[in-house]
Amino acid sequence: MSNEIKFSGLRACFWPITAHESKKIIPLASLMFFVLFNYTILRDIKDSLILTAPGCGSESFSFLKLWGTLPFAIIIMGLYSKASLVLSRPNLFRATVIMFVTFFTVFGFVIFPNADILHASPEWITTTAHQYPNFRYVIALVGNWSYSLFFIFAELWGNIALSVLFWQFANEITKISEARRVYPLLGLIANVGGFLAGQGLVVLAKSTKHLPEADRWAYSMKWVILALVICACTVLYIHHWIVTRIMTDATLYDPDTQGAKKKKVKLSFMQGMKAVFSSQYIGFLVILPLAYGITINFVEATFKNQVKIMFKTPTDIMEFYGNYSSITSTVTAVLMIIGANLTRLFSWRFCALATPVMTLVAGSLFFAILLLQEKTSCVLSSLAISPITISVYLGVALIALSKGTKYALFDPTKEMAYIPLDDDLRTQGKAAVDGVGGRLGKSGSGIIQQTFFLVSATATQMSIAPYLAMLLVGFCLIWIISVSKLSVLFEKARAEKNM
């Protein structure tokens, strides 16, 4: 007989937690809230810095992610692995968070106020870029080195503080019987943190409108850095409280039970490729995250180019991104609640097709509006609406829907696809999909865009937009075909195991 606790009504949707479990779940949810609060602020600020830095633009992101974030992530994760052999898990968590706190504090109160002195002059960046036009975006990123470094650490907060530190800690203290009820709740809490962080940036930007732009941006950055440091210190305090109060309570934490969880298998990239080509099922499955990563990055990179055209100052961009984050968090939370019911009521194929179809429709519509700006400008001007305004706010809506569908349906259906597999294939397949599909999805878009920029000295985000639109349609169609093929194999595997 199952010992799983049952809830009904609204409580089953919003708080499927017993009173005794609340002592553990409330601080754990608070921990995720502050991690995601910082993640949202960092995501919005890093884009504001790079989009308005001399010589930089949306074209810079693909270079920075591939040649900055990726090498730093490899180095820091290597150091993390070495430190894990010496430090206890709680001390490793603290040391990693303190590393981020130290960098953001030094950046905010030492480097940023003296950026004009520490950075290359705009004249040097312009002159050198003219001498080496194919590398103009790399030159600008080197010239604005501290902004590039802030971007890298902001990206790593998501990769390390959220994906590694938080989820490892959550997996360590959460029982398997609790995870199905607790983890969806944590997703909703995360979106509340994202919404409030976005609105915090909006309030900050509006409260400084009376100041000159240089003072306005400097004042905003001081408060942003202060908020980041306070939230990170709060993360340290909550983590310490859980370690000393929860992990010493045998009714809430059983190290023997938690230790029984299977250790996640990691494969090298080549081992992952071998697993992909040895199984048709895994081959179709790996296309899902690969196609999503490439297509959403095509849209986001072009969208950010339009944001830079519409908003000229970093504070205005910060305010816009604050509203954008709040909208995305709200849409995602609503779709996550809806998605939980859709996966129960409809077939796997129907739910798995929702994300590629949404991305195809949303992406195609975004690029169509963008590429037809000149033809629609006369009609829109009569309505007192500029084409750039339409493309930016349409981009907000479409990206929010695509991301919301991803979290609500893409992730659950991808995880469901592993269920009917044998234990060995399930374990190796998941490692292969995360390793190959995840890596190529994140870097593939950047490599494609960089090829255009490096080959042509005159290429810009707008000039390559028609090619990105065609590639987006192609990848989405491959994605849809893969889901259809995979659904046949999925249903066949379920039937064989009577699931």
Decide if pLDDT at 267 tops 90. no
Distance between CA atoms of residues 58 and 216, nearest Å? 23
Average pLDDT over residues 37-46: 95
Q: Would 23-261 and 269-499 be classified into the same CATH topology?
A: yes
Distance between CA atoms of residues 422 and 282, nearest Å? 12
pTM for this model (two decimals)? 0.86
Task: Kindly give, in sequence order, each residue whose CB lies less than 8 Å from that of residue 321, ignoring residues fewer than 6 positions away.
Answer: 43, 44, 47, 48, 198, 201, 307
Could you write out the DSSP letters of every residue in 429-475? HHHHIIIIIHHHHHHHHHHHHHHHHHH-TT--TTTTHHHHHHHHHHH
CB atoms within 10 A of CB 227: 17
Question: pLDDT class for 444, splitting at 50, 70, 90?
Answer: confident
Task: Kindly give, in sequence order, each residue whose CB lies less than 8 Å from that of residue 50, ignoring residues fewer than 6 positions away.
Answer: 56, 60, 61, 64, 144, 147, 148, 151
Q: Would you kindly state where each structural domain of the chain is located, as residue ranges?
A: 23-261, 269-499
Task: Kindly give, in sequence order, each residue whose CB lies less than 8 Å from that of residue 250, ignoring residues fewer than 6 positions away.
Answer: none
Contact of 237 with 123, CB cutoff 8 Å = no
Contact of 373 with 391, CB cutoff 8 Å = yes
Distance between CA atoms of residues 266 and 436, nearest Å? 11
Ranking 53-62, 119-128, 419-428, 442-451 by mean pLDDT, the lowest is: 419-428
Q: Which two tokens stand for residue 234?
A: 């709060």
Which DSSP letter does residue 1 get? Answer: -
Average pLDDT of the chain is 85
Distance between CA atoms of residues 468 and 302, nearest Å? 9
- Kindly provide the b/e burial profile for residues 411-421, where b requires at least 16 CB atoms within 10 angstroms of the residue's own CB: bbbbeebbebb
Summarize pLDDT for 166-211 with one digit per residue, the tens. Answer: 888 887 887 766 766 777 778 788 889 999 999 999 999 999 999 9
Which DSSP letter does residue 360 get? Answer: H
Q: Which two tokens stand for residue 110?
A: 């030492």
Ranking 14-28, 167-181, 320-334, 336-350 by mean pLDDT, the lowest is: 167-181
Average pLDDT over residues 463-476: 95
Decide if pLDDT at 261 tops 60. no
The CATH code belonging to domain 23-261 is 1.20.1250
CB atoms within 10 A of CB 19: 6
The CATH code belonging to domain 269-499 is 1.20.1250.20
Ranking 98-102, 149-153, 336-340, 459-463 by mean pLDDT, the lowest is: 336-340
What percent of the chain is predicted at pLDDT more than 70?
85
Question: 3-state SS of the chain: helix, strand, coil percent to 5?
Answer: 85, 0, 15
Decide if pLDDT at 470 tops 80. yes
Summarize pLDDT for 348-371 with one digit per residue, the tens. Answer: 899 899 999 999 998 998 998 888
Helices and strands (H and E) in the chain: how many? 23, 0
Instruction: Give the amino acid at 88.
Output: S
